[in-house]
Every structure is written in C-alpha cells, then in structure tokens.
Amino acid sequence: MKRYSVFAIVREALRQHRGWEPAWASPEPRDRYDVVIVGAGGHGLATAYYLGKNFGITNVAVLDKGWLGGGNTGRNTTIIRSNYLQDPSAAIYEKSRALYETLSQELNMNIMFSPRGVMMLAQTEHEKRGYLRTERANALQGVETRFIPPEEVKKLVPIINIDGPRYPVLGALWQARAGTARHDAVAWGYARACSAMGMHVIQNCAVTGVEAVGGKVTGVQTTRGAIGCNRLGLVVAGHSGHLANMAGFRLPIESVALQALVSEPIKPCMDVVVMANTVHGYMSQSDKGEMVIGGGADGYNNYTQRGSWHHIEETVRALCETFPVISRLKMLRHWGGIVDMTGDRSPIISRTPLEGCFINAGWGTGGFKSIPGSGWAMAELMARGESSLAAGFGLERFREGRFVDESVAAGVAH
C-alpha cells in the first residue's frame, strides 16, 4: 500500500496521476477464513481492522451484500460525542471519540475529523436538571463536559434564537472536544488499512445462510459460494434480525428509518453542532456550506431509505423556531437509513447462542460516533472471548433486566 502524503501528490501530479493504485483490493473469496465479518460498513471494517492491529488476526473476510459503506455509514449526519449518562455508554463512546482524534494519522487517510464542539440545548426545566445530572456523571467518568448558560450559547452560536416562541434556551450541555468527521472517509480508511494487512473486503456478496454443526458455526452460504470460518461476526445494522434468524436465534430489536437532509450551501454561519432534543432537531454546517439537519426516527417499523415528508416537515419546523435565519433555505436532498433499535436504546455487542458467532447490533441512531470504539470492543470480544468495553451490552441483559437505558437518561438516542 502506497502511503498518502504531500510528496505523493506532487509526484503523481508530475506524471499525470498515472501511478495511483486502488485504495483496496477486490479479491475473489477463498473457501475458508479464520474470521468472517458480515457487513462492510464502519463497524464491520473497524472490527476487522482491530482484529489485525491488536491481535494479529489477518485471515479475515469482510462481506457486504452491496458496496462498501453503502448502508448507514454513508447515510448519517456525522455527529461524534460521548456525553452519555450511563457508565457503559460513556466508556465506549469516549473510547471512540478519543480514537477519532488520531484516526487520520493512524489510517493514513484524512477522515476530516473536526472537533468543533457539540451542544445539547436545555429548553425545559426538566431537561436542564437532566443535563446538570449528566455533567456530574461525566465528571466521574472522565468525560469533559460542562453546562453553559444561555449567554454563552448565544456567543457560540450567534444565529440561534434563545427566546424561542415555544421553548426558550435555558442553557446547554457543551462538549468542546466532540464534533464531526466525514462518514465515507472513515469507511474508506478502515477498508484500505484492512486490505493492506492482507484481509479480503468482498463487495456484492450477500449472505444467504449460516452453516453450523453441533451448535457451532462452520461458515456461511453466500451468492458467491460457500465460505467456511471458525468465527463469525454479524455487523449489519438494520438487517441484524434477518441474519440472526439465519443463525437460529432472535434479537430484541426493531428496524426503523432515520431521516436526514441538507440545505443548499450558504456562507459559513455556524461552526458547532447544536442538538435541540425538546423540539427534536439537530443541525451543523458542512465544509461545503450545507446545513446538515436531522431529527428523530420514524415511529413505525420500515425498511425504506427514501424518507417521508411529514417527518422532514416536523424537524424543519422545529429548527426554524430555533434558527429563524434558515427559514428561507431550500432543501438540496434528503434520505433515510435503516437503524436497529433495542428496548433500552443501547447496543448489543455479544456472544450468541450459536458458538463461534458474535453480534454487533442495536446502535440505533448513534452508530457513526461509536465506530472506532465499537470495532475495538467487538474485535476484543471475538479474539479473547471477553471485553471490558462490551461487558454491559450482552444479550443476556434483556433476560436479566440489566438495561442500559440511554433513551430515558439522555433524552435522545443520537
């Protein structure tokens, strides 16, 4: 793998860019691997990368039914934060945020990480009390956050209306080292690094069945033939339930669409991320000038990736109250991604009833921010059989009633 650098750019410019090689290989699948990961999104690729980097396991295949990063990894609003209330959540999201800070250098791929800061507006007294509680919990967890008054909110975001018609801004939970990154580049960087270690990233290879003998996984059936393996990782977001059924067990999840949109590009006017959970909308500005806007997930189970107008209208109406200056902007495009929701809105990183099979699912609307930490924990679980980061997110917690209830604690699952 050739290293990207300013010198490489100059060298290739002098020879009309004829020396660039593919970022990752496109091999034919082998008959057998030590590990097969199903899902070539951010979480699946990160799992493969940390299997190789941390444990030296490189006889790995990452399979995807479509193209690399074509699912939720390329269909999100790129927010990265770790100011969660529950200890297991704060630990894995803070691990992820910390890994994001140096990921460009580690992967030799500019993921455009921007630690611009994320604020979560408090627009009711109840929400303010909740964020003050989270501030204190984060201090105990080693996560740097603080609650800021309305005047500081206005200073950081001049275009905001802190005297809203329905809900005034009473302050905000501010995490200065949170931010955004480019979603596609994260997937590309991990894929390039995996390929350089000799792993196979195989696109357009749908899994049609899971093979097992005596309660132990032996491989998968795919549209490109049978592939044997010793360990199998299922990392497929909204389609987790389908893959689990193939493996002979059920998951306590439901799949719904999460929608987002971007406006036409405008001059820079906002250099932080703002989340308004009471009215349920959040917004940031991209490097191209587009206002990146999102809201809550659909209230019914579905697999559409097109979005729906009523949900977009509710989100935009809420944000126009908070940011009146955006009311005349035109929408450039909008889309939906399929997210898998657990009852407590926390993920599943766990062994399964099928020996040798592991599951990483249930990230809901918080998947992108967790990619490095999720991959780190999943790789550790698959290599060692246990992981301190994943310990609180096992499947058994639903049977035992040990919920990691971030839906209630955080007020929003993003």
Domains assigned to the chain: 25-82+85-108+183-252+344-410 (3.50.50.60), 118-178+255-341 (3.30.9.10)
Strands (E), 67-117: 79-80
What Rg, from alpha-carbon coordinates, does the chain have? Answer: 21
Half-sphere exposure of 100 (CA within 13 A, CB side): 33
Q: Give the residues of the chain that fall short of pLDDT 50.
A: 408-414
Instruction: State residue 63's pLDDT score.
Output: 97
Question: Can you read off the two tokens belonging to residue 381?
Answer: 């679980």
pLDDT value, residue 413? 40
pLDDT per residue as tens digits for the range 53-80: 999 999 999 999 999 998 889 889 999 9
Residue 407 confidence (pLDDT): 66
- Helix-strand-coil percent breakdown of the chain, rounded to 5? 35, 25, 40
Cβ atoms 375, 45 nearer than 8 A: yes
In angstroms, rounded to a whole number, what is the distance separating the alpha carbons of residues 173 and 145? Answer: 7
Q: Which of 122, 343, 358, 361 is nearest to 239 (CA)?
A: 361
> 183-196 and 42-55 are packed helices; what angle lies between their axes, rounded to 10 degrees?
40
Could you give the CA distance from residue 370 to residue 31 in angstroms, rounded to a whole number?
A: 32
pLDDT at 409: 43
- Cα separation, 55 vs 219, in Å, equals 21
